[in-house]
Structure 1
Amino acid sequence: MTPQPPQGGAPPIAAARLWSAGAATAVVTALIAVVGILLARGVFDIPVLAPEGEGTWGDADTMTYALFCALAALVATGLLHLLLASTPRPFEFFGWIIALATVAAAAAPFVAGGETSSKIATAVINLAVGVAIGTLLTSAGRTATRAIR
């Protein structure tokens, strides 16, 4: 079944392709979080998201953080799908939204207490997650709108 273009001239969207890329992006972002925390704790001995005594893997916060990164990728996929279906120049709006959200996520650790090294490590991880979400989903969105033309 070939998707019909929505009213208003928006391009048809290969939703399955977009959402499978969103799921893959969720896995990538969760892995970025886990690898970032492992590097910070294990290699640089920076206590990210856990007290120093928790070791390289830390506590349950590592997996919670990774799951929230994956959730952010899925929310971004939903946002991109909505923008593709309803707005002119959806990739410009998506780029701005993701860029501003990434800046906010990178700045957020500096609002809380803690060691400066922990704040910097968390900011770098958040920045890497935001860049991954923005680049991977933008590419997937472009493919999802071209795939069925």
Structure 2
Amino acid sequence: MPLSEYEQRVLEQMERALTSDDPRLANTLQSTGRGNALRYVLSGAGVVVGLLLLVVGAATSRTWLGAIGFVLMFAGVVFAFLGPRKKQQEGPVGVVGEDGTVQTPHGARKPPKRQGGGRSGGFLARLEERWENRRNEGGR
């Protein structure tokens, strides 16, 4: 059952609000995983061919062949674990990096960082605060 015009409009407003509030999350949700399958197939083929070269090099006492096989295996694993590079997008204030943060151009004023405790500090700030409290209380 298709969405009504009102529901589509509300959904678009929610998408715009999400993009403006948390561009990193919105970027993650919009990305598709179609390129990942080809990436894993290519890296798997590289690892298999590298392993075969390594075994053949060891069996025939040709160390250079084994070294090439090892390098090929390593390159296949690195290729599988490194994500594809994303192009930077122009944002309203500056350039949106691949992690979703906005980098302001030179000369533009950066917004002040939020200071203070509570929930606004984030997980790591709360963790550091708890650690300092334990140190100050005598290791408890």
The alignment's TM-score, normalised by the length of structure 1, stands at 0.32
The structure that has the greater radius of gyration is: 2
Relative contact order (alpha carbons < 8 A, sep ≥ 6): 1 or 2 greater? 1
Q: Identify the structure with the greater strand proportion.
A: 2
Q: Identify the structure with the greater helix proportion.
A: 1
The alignment's TM-score, normalised by the length of structure 2, stands at 0.34
